[in-house]
Amino acid sequence: MKRQMLANRPGAVRFSALLFAGLVVSSFLPHHTAFALSELKQIPGQAKEEDKDAPEVEEPDDVGPMQIPMPDPLVNKPAGDVKDDSAEDPVPATPVEVLSDVSKIPQAVARMRELIVEAAASGDIERLRPLLGKGPTQTQVGENGTDPVEVLKGLSGDPDGIEILAILLDVLSTGFVLVDKGTPEEMYVWPYFTEKSLSSLTAPEKVDLLRLVTAGDFIGMEEGGNYNFYRVGITPDGQWKFFIAGD
């Protein structure tokens, strides 16, 4: 028996050595495994050691819900298409000054008007001839070069020209206006409706107009936007410039 125990002693020694080595190695394994798990997984609510001393960042209290920006327009208008609210409104037209006192106009103008009225009131259209002029200074009543008296007779509803004389008297009995003041085209024009918007006429002014035209004519003028019946023009030096109808 003693011989057998001695024969087995080296094996026992080797086993003891291996067992001791295993114990030594296993003593290190638990600590290494715990360190690795602490690095890979953090317990909820537990801060890391290195974060304990970090300053806390306060979030602002007035932070509202996240705003989603509006999309850009599909079509960008050019800058010139954008209405400028600062642009000034158009300047209104200057009011028309209606004149009625012939004593306050140049004497030459008042004298020519008086002569025309006297000739028309006579009922003899030939009395207009010396007032209508000749050549370059001939009063415009139709095409140049034609006999103005004959033209006026042709415009009248009767062969003697009585109707056109009556129209001439009615036109010169209305108020009048001074147009193109301070220019070579300065002129006194009858009736004043030639320079006024028909939509701006007062009730008395409409009465004045209906002394010259019918209600149907007036409606047609409103549709066209302006007065288109007969008118008379006399220059400041007393020249009878025209007696025509139209716009």
129 falls within a domain: yes
Closest of 103, 135, 214 to residue 167, by C-alpha: 214
74 falls within a domain: no
146 falls within a domain: yes
Closest of 122, 133, 95 to residue 238, by C-alpha: 133
**DSSP 8-state secondary structure symbol assigned to residue 67:** P
Domain count, the chain: 1
62 versus 233: the higher-pLDDT residue is 233
Contact 99, 105 (CB under 8 A): yes
| Chain segment 201-247, per-residue pLDDT in tens | 999 999 999 999 999 999 999 998 899 999 999 999 999 999 999 87
237 falls within a domain: yes
221 falls within a domain: yes
188 falls within a domain: yes
Domain region containing 178: 102-244
27 falls within a domain: no
Q: Which of 56-60, 91-95, 98-102, 239-243 has the lowest mean pLDDT?
A: 56-60
Region for residue 181 given its phi and psi (left: phi exceeds 0; alpha: psi -120 to 50; beta: otherwise):
beta
90 falls within a domain: no
How many DSSP H helices and E strands does the chain contain? 7, 4
